[in-house]
């Protein structure tokens, strides 16, 4: 399998993928894109190009061409060249702006327009459409165009950024030099536009739930009446019977022993003597009491 065949297959596949991707873009999704061009011949320079499909109204593209913010030189913009993905639209394109002088179109044939051109590189940079900006010479600063804006429209078709995505652009500068310095040089620049950005629209808010439909009945249903409360007193609770615990049985009295204890002899003698003594004392006491009574009589 030859290398040239593989190259053709790869190029065809890449082109198909690019067309499918570009077909997914619409003016509702994209707004603008900006890219830079750099010199392929002549003095060092950098020009910024912005395409916006909203600023000039639906279906129109606003072009802004100016010296890039980080450019080290300045120049007079004399021409802009570009390709478009649909060549059938070329005859209906119209460019309007205060600096637009003339236009030219031809699919893959344009390298000059009016007195501005991108010649000098062996015909390697050819475009579909060209716009001449201003006139030759600075004219004392009156024609020193370092920024320009114009609108591109079509007589019968709404334009969007997808038509200009990943297309080649060219810029012609004259009177190139540094600010405050000599501006005797010129420059020819080219660049390729990017894919347009995709704007993701936020999801629509969910609709609020509808209130519940009212009953078809014209009058609301009455609430049920509460059950009447009985006027009779509540029955008395059943008495609680407390059964006393059985009392403990009394301890039985000790049963006396059937045998009679006989006191010791010494104890018995002592008791006899004590008793006798007591009798004797009582007798003596009685005699004494009698004597005293007789004497009183």
Q: Specify the DSSP class assigned to residue 248.
A: P
CATH number at residue 186: 2.60.40
The pLDDT value given to residue 122:
76
Residue 4 lies in a domain: no
Residue 264 lies in a domain: no
The string of DSSP codes covering 226-243 is: PPPPP-SPPPPPPPPP-P
Domain enclosing residue 103, as ranges: 33-192
User: What is the phi/psi pair of residue 171, to 5°?
Assistant: -135, 140
Q: Provide the β-strand partners of residue 133.
A: 100
Contacts of residue 175, defined as CB under 8 A and 6 or more positions apart, other chains included, come to 75, 76, 137, 138, 144, 183, 184, 185, 186
The pLDDT value given to residue 124:
85
Q: Are 36 and 48 a contacting pair, CB within 8 Å? A: yes
Q: Quick one: three-class SS letters along 50-112?
A: EEECCCCCCCCEEEEEEECCCCCCEEEEEEEEECCCCHHHHHHEEEECCCEEEEEEEEEEECE
> Which of 195, 198, 203 is CA-nearest to residue 167?
195
pLDDT tens track, the chain, 297 positions: 544 444 454 444 444 444 444 444 444 456 899 999 999 999 999 999 999 999 999 999 999 999 999 999 999 999 999 999 999 999 999 999 999 999 999 999 999 999 999 998 777 899 999 999 999 989 888 899 999 999 999 999 999 999 999 999 999 999 999 999 999 999 999 999 998 776 656 666 666 666 655 555 455 555 655 555 555 555 555 555 555 555 555 555 555 544 445 455 555 555 656 666 666 656 666 655 454 445 544
The pLDDT value given to residue 68:
97
> Which of 135, 134, 127 is CA-nearest to residue 93?
127
> Which of 192, 176, 86, 73 is CA-nearest to residue 129?
86
Tokens standing for residue 289: 């009491």
The pLDDT value given to residue 42:
95
Helix (H, G, I), strand (E, B) or coil at 116: strand
Q: Which helix (H) or strand (E) holds 32?
A: strand 32-42
Residue 75 lies in a domain: yes
Residue 141 lies in a domain: yes
The pLDDT value given to residue 14:
47
The pLDDT value given to residue 6:
46
User: How far is it, in rounded angstroms, from Cα 289 to Cα 297?
Assistant: 13
Residue 187 lies in a domain: yes
- Number of compact structural domains in the chain: 1
Q: Are 66 and 47 a contacting pair, CB within 8 Å? A: yes
User: How far is it, in rounded angstroms, from Cα 290 to Cα 277?
Assistant: 20
Residue 278 lies in a domain: no
Residue 275 lies in a domain: no
The pLDDT value given to residue 142:
86
Q: Is the pTM of this model over 0.85?
A: no
The pLDDT value given to residue 278:
66
Longest dimension (CA), the chain: 195
The pLDDT value given to residue 32:
94
Q: Which helix (H) or strand (E) holds 263?
A: none
The pLDDT value given to residue 187:
97
Residue 135 lies in a domain: yes
């Amino acid at each position: 399998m030859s290398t040239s065949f593989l190259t053709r297959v790869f190029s065809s596949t890449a082109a198909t993928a690019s067309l499918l991707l570009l077909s997914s873009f619409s003016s509702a999704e994209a707004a603008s894109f900006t890219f830079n061009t750099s010199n392929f011949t002549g003095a060092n320079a950098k020009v910024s190009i912005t395409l916006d499909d909203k600023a000039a109204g639906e279906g129109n593209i606003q072009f802004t061409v100016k010296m890039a913010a980080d450019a080290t030189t300045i120049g007079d913009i004399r021409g802009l060249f570009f390709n478009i993905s649909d060549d059938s639209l070329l005859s209906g394109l119209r460019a309007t702006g205060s600096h637009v002088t003339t236009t030219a179109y031809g699919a893959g044939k344009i390298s000059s327009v009016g007195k501005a051109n991108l010649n000098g590189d062996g015909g390697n940079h050819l475009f579909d459409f060209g716009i001449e900006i201003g006139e030759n010479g600075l004219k004392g600063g009156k024609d020193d165009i370092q920024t320009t804006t114009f609108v591109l429209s079509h007589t019968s078709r709404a334009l969007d950024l997808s038509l200009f995505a990943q297309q080649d652009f060219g810029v012609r500068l004259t009177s190139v030099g540094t600010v405050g310095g000599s501006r005797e040089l010129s420059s020819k620049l080219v660049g390729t536009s990017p894919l347009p950005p995709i704007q993701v629209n936020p999801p629509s808010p969910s609709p609020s739930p509808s209130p519940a439909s009212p009953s078809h009945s014209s009058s609301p249903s009455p609430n049920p009446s509460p059950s009447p409360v009985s006027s009779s007193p509540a029955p008395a609770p059943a008495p609680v019977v407390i059964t006393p615990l059985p009392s403990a049985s009394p301890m039985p009295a000790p049963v006396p022993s059937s045998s009679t204890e006989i006191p010791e002899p010494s104890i018995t003698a002592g008791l006899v003597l004590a008793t006798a003594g007591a009798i004797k004392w009582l007798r003596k006491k009685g005699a004494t009491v009698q004597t005293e009574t007789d004497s009183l009589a």
